[in-house]
Structure 1
Amino acid sequence: MDNTVRLVKPEAMIFDMDGTLFQTETLLLPAHNKLFDILREEGHYEGETPDEELVLSCLGMLLPDIWKKVIPDGTPEAHARANELLLQLELEGLENEEAVLYPKVKETLEELHRRGVRLFVASNGLEQYVKGIAEARGIMPLFEGVYSAGEHGTATKVDLVRLLLDTHGVKTAWMVGDRSSDVEAGKGNGQTVIGCRYAGFGGTEELKGSDVIIDAFEQLLTLYDQAKEA
C-alpha cells in the first residue's frame, strides 16, 4: 500500500465494480469464446476470436468504446448484438460459483457499513450486469445506491459520479477503483481517489493521480482507521 498522504475520513465510499469489487475475468473469459462463436454463426463476425487480453484491457470502458476496440470493423448491428449476448452470457455465468468477488470484499464492505460509511457503486457497465453481480454475490443490501452508465446514460464516469453525489447529497467521498476513468471521476468531482492495483488489468499509468494505492481490498479498513476526522 502506497500511503504518503494523510486522508480525511469520508462520508461515503464509491466503488467501481469490475476489477475493484468483482474479479471480472472469472465471468468474462468463460463467456468470451461463446459470444464470438454465436456472432460468427449469426453472420455478425468473421475471423478469429479476439485475444482475451485485448478484452480484459478494455474493462472500465463504456460498452460502445469496448466494441470499437475489440470489433473495430463491426457494423452497428454487430455491436448491438454483442451487447445483448454479453449481458445474457454474463447473467447466466453468475449462477456459476467460480465467478467471484475479490478476497475480503464482502467482509470489508460489511465492516465499513457497520462503521457508518455510506456505500455506493458507480460503474460504466450495463444496469442488469452491475446490479446482477451485487445481488448474486450478496452485497446489494450494503449499498445505498448502485449507479451504472447503462441505466443513467452518462457519457463519462465523471458525469455518473456527479449525478450520484448530487442525488444523495454526498459532500465527501473516496472514489475506489482500478482504472484511469475512476481517477478522473474522483478528481473531476473534487474527491479523494483510492487506486486499486491488485486486478492488474491496466498499465502503470492507469492509477496516476490517485491519492493512495492499495494492493488488497481490505487495506481500506486500515486507511479509514488512520484517516483523520473531518
Structure 2
Amino acid sequence: MAHNTIRRTAVAALAATTLLVGVTACSDTDAADPAVELTATGDPAFEGPDGADTSNKTPDELAREQALAKVNDFYAVVGKLDGDAAAPIEQLDTVAGGPVLDSWRGDITLRRSQNVVGAGDVKVVDAKITDAGIPVGDDGKAISGPAWVHVRACTDISGMTWTKSDGSPAYDVNRPQFVLAQLTVRNADWPDANGWRVTSDAAARYAPCDAP
C-alpha cells in the first residue's frame, strides 16, 4: 500500500500544548506511576494512553497524545529509580531508548554505587509538540513504520534534590528553577501505543525555557 508520513510543524499542526504537572524527578542534563504501562486492548492505533476509545482522532493526533504521555512516564520512572535503589534499573527500558537510555542508566547506576539518593520531584509546567513524523496510508489510517515526535517542555526542577550519604547535596544548589527540555520521542513499533520511548534531549544543561 502506498503510504505517507505526516509531518507537521508547530504552525501547521493542530495545537498540542499540554499542561503536565506532578511528575517526579529529572536530570541535570538531558515524565504516572512507573509501574503503569500504556496498554492497547484493541487496535493499538486507536486506543489512547488510558485505554479510552479514540477512534475519532487522526493518527497524528493520537501519536502526539501518546508521545506526551510517554514523557510523563519517562520522568516518573526516572524519579522512582533515583529515589529507590531497590527498584530494577530495567524499568528504564520501558520509557527510554538510544542516548537517553544509555545516559540515564549510567547516571543512576553511578549514583547508586555512591549511595546518592534522589528525592522530591520535577514539574513539567508546559509542553508542546514542535514537529512530528507519523506513518499513514493514502486513506489517512495509521500504518506500520517508525514514528517520531519532538517535544519542547519547560520544567520546574526546584523541588528535586540528590543527597550524599553524609547528608550534603549532590547537585548544584545554585541551579536555575526552570529548565528547558527538547525531547525526541520515537516509536519503532508504530502504531502500537506501547512503542514510544524518549530517545534524545537536544537542550543544553540548564538552558532557560525561553532559549531558542
Q: Normalising by the residue count of structure 1, what TM-score does the alignment of the two structures yield? A: 0.27
Higher fraction of strand = 2
Higher fraction of helix = 1
